[in-house]
């Protein structure tokens, strides 16, 4: 048993924290993440990856949360990347291109799409919503139903019959609604039980990454709150002299440390060979992290006073991101 990072992991933590602290959001950040090998990390070495595991994903996601960076990482690498990685056969060259950052994949899970095998391939009809960072993606990994049987497909972003409406989510992430009308898939990754399994694995890896991101966000909220309590003066004294506020800050730490433990548990469970073990572990992770995200977000805003509910202040934005993660965790 040990909770220490290896030397390589500690270096990864340092360099990702530096990257996210320096870089602004946007395409440039994604390119720099690719340059650093962050996108290649979970993929096998013979497919252009680094062969690293969920602990490395945890480190990257937590650093991202800490800096409140908004990137396609969770959807593209943790969810869609897992599907590509674990599918029997991914389209030729796709993993290498995703790992290098040359092509970007987006995960289209929410919404209803029906699919049928036709002569010329699999045809899709229906709608996906809240597709994370769909604009600018080259391919979508799409879940669909063939009758009642799940299918996972790869669809080119420029496929005929596919339309996109772009918007943003309340956590500032870019998202899109995708409409499929007679779209022909580029390839099928899995059907039936294999597809259900891939979808579950994608959900688990996504939840594990988001749990770590939430821990980073909670740390950012706690840090900002402590700074505020130590510097803001009312009634002639700093806020930190009021016991009611000190106790709320202590509550935030307790919740954060519980969530941190669960982010580690997620990383250490997400590749367990036993599906029941994974399912139970990730469900426990979601339960604890969701509640912690809510408590830390709400309390952080409350302790900041009026400034906490302004658009301009980072704590309010972190609260919105934590709220979105809380909702994800609740849905499973």
Helix (H, G, I), strand (E, B), or coil: what is residue 175?
strand
Q: How far is the CB of 267 from another protein (least distance, A)?
A: 7
Whichever of 41 and 189 has its CB closer to another protein, that residue is 41
Whichever of 169 and 253 has its CB closer to another protein, that residue is 253
Closest CA to 284 of 305, 301, 270: 270
Whichever of 230 and 331 has its CB closer to another protein, that residue is 230
Whichever of 168 and 246 has its CB closer to another protein, that residue is 246
CA distance 9 to 173: 27
- Beta-carbon contacts of 68 under 8 Å, excluding residues fewer than 6 positions away, are 217, 220, 314, 317, 318, 321
Whichever of 1 and 24 has its CB closer to another protein, that residue is 1
Q: How far is the CB of 65 from another protein (least distance, A)?
A: 18
> Which residues, listed in sequence order, are joined to residue 53 by a DSSP beta bridge?
none
- Tokens, residue 230: 């130590």
Q: How far is the CB of 288 from another protein (least distance, A)?
A: 5
Q: What would the DSSP string read from start to end of 206-243?
A: HHHHHHHHHHHHHHHHHHHHHHHHHH-EETTEEGGG-H
Phi-psi region of 179 (alpha: psi -120 to 50; beta: other; left: phi over 0): beta
Whichever of 28 and 257 has its CB closer to another protein, that residue is 257
Closest CA to 62 of 125, 128, 115, 9: 9
- Tokens, residue 175: 């998202």
Q: How far is the CB of 168 from another protein (least distance, A)?
A: 32
Q: Give the footprint of another protein on this chain (CB under 8 A).
A: 1-5, 9, 55, 226, 229-230, 240, 243, 246-247, 249-251, 253-254, 257-262, 264-265, 267-268, 283-285, 287-288, 291
Whichever of 165 and 246 has its CB closer to another protein, that residue is 246
Q: How far is the CB of 298 from another protein (least distance, A)?
A: 18
CA distance 87 to 332: 22
- Tokens, residue 309: 């509910």
Tell me the residue length of the chain. 332
Helix (H, G, I), strand (E, B), or coil: what is residue 245?
helix
Q: How far is the CB of 237 from another protein (least distance, A)?
A: 12
Whichever of 183 and 301 has its CB closer to another protein, that residue is 301
Q: How far is the CB of 75 from another protein (least distance, A)?
A: 25
Q: How far is the CB of 219 from another protein (least distance, A)?
A: 12
Helix (H, G, I), strand (E, B), or coil: what is residue 267?
helix
CA distance 159 to 122: 13
């Amino acid at each position: 048993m040990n909770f220490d990072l290896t030397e390589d992991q500690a270096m990864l933590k340092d360099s990702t924290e530096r990257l996210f602290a320096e870089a602004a959001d946007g395409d440039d950040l994604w390119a720099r993440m690719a340059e650093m090998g962050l996108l290649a990390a979970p993929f096998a070495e013979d497919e252009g990856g680094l062969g690293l595991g969920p602990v490395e994903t945890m480190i990257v996601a937590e650093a991202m949360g800490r800096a409140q960076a908004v990137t396609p990482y969770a959807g593209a690498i943790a969810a869609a990347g897992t599907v590509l990685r674990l599918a029997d056969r991914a389209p030729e060259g796709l993993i290498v291109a995703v790992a290098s950052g040359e092509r970007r994949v987006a995960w289209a899970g929410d919404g209803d799409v029906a699919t049928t095998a036709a002569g010329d391939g699999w045809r899709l009809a229906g709608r996906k919503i809240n597709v994370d960072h769909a604009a600018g993606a080259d391919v979508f990994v799409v879940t669909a139903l063939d009758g009642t049987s799940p299918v996972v497909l790869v669809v080119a972003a420029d496929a005929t019959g596919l339309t996109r409406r772009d918007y943003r989510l309340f956590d500032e992430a870019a998202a899109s609604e995708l409409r499929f009308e007679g779209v022909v898939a580029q390839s099928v990754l899995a059907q039936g039980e294999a597809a259900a399994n891939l979808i579950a694995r994608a959900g688990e890896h996504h939840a594990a990454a988001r749990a770590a991101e939430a821990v980073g966000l909670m740390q950012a909220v706690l840090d900002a709150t402590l700074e505020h309590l130590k510097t803001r003066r009312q009634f002639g004294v700093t806020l930190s002299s009021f016991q009611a506020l000190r106790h709320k800050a202590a509550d935030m730490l307790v919740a954060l440390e519980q969530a941190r433990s669960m982010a580690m548990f997620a990383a250490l469970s997400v590749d367990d060979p036993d599906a029941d073990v994974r399912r139970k572990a990730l469900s426990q992770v979601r339960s604890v992290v969701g509640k912690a995200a809510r408590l830390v977000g709400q309390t952080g805003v409350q302790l900041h006073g009026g400034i906490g509910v302004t658009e301009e202040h980072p704590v309010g934005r972190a609260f919105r991101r934590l709220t979105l993660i809380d909702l994800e965790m609740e849905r499973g």
